[in-house]
Amino acid sequence: MARFLLLYSTVDGHTRAICERVARRIEAQGHEVSQVSLDDDGAVDPVRFDRVVIGASIRYGRHRDNVLAFVRRHAETLQRLPAALFSVSLVARKPHRAGVDSNPYLKRFLAQVPWQPRALAVFAGKLNYPLYGFWDRQVIRLIMWMTGGPTRPDAVVDYTDWHQVDAFADRVAAASFGDEPQGD
């Protein structure tokens, strides 16, 4: 049994929902999981855990600053441990932007940090106009209009491939997770 630390940063709660799904899959395989929001408490020390998984949402083309700060602060520990990263964004709803090698936001993030995760994944997020504030709703509708996405102000669309999430969770829960870098 391994002790997992699942860290996440979310704007609207969907990355947290993905983390909860990942945690249930890992726990079902007999591991202990602690979930911590970087939005609430970035002071957690990953050195107390056997494995680390970080879930990071993207808003307006960027990962949140608290994720970047945490990874930079703990890069040495993250590099030493079996550690994984998944990124969640609406741009990943498009197949040509859903891969580890083709997602521009993940590539930019990895170029900014001194850490190479042993497992990586990119998940499409959830569009939820009713949840957004006025300005976010307008800006996201404009972005969706420009990229051919839904623009109805009442639209709620979950683009997440939950089978892909499960496969990622199973991979990081596997004993072989720490052997070598992997991507989706």
Which H or E run includes 170?
Answer: helix 162-173
Q: Where are the alpha helices (DSSP H) in 29-133?
A: 65-73, 75-80, 104-112
Residue 182 lies in a domain: no
pLDDT digits (tens, 9 = 90+) for 100-142: 888 999 999 999 999 999 999 999 999 999 999 999 999 999 9
- 23 and 92 part of one domain: yes
17 lies in the same domain as 70 = yes
Task: Give how far Cα 40 sits from Cα of 56, 66, 160, Å.
Answer: 14, 10, 24
Kindly report the pTM of this predicted structure. Answer: 0.91
Question: Can you give the CATH number for the domain in which 20 is found?
Answer: 3.40.50.360
Quote the number of domains for the chain.
Answer: 2
Q: Residue 176 has what pLDDT?
A: 64
Confidence of residue 179 (pLDDT cuts 50, 70, 90): low
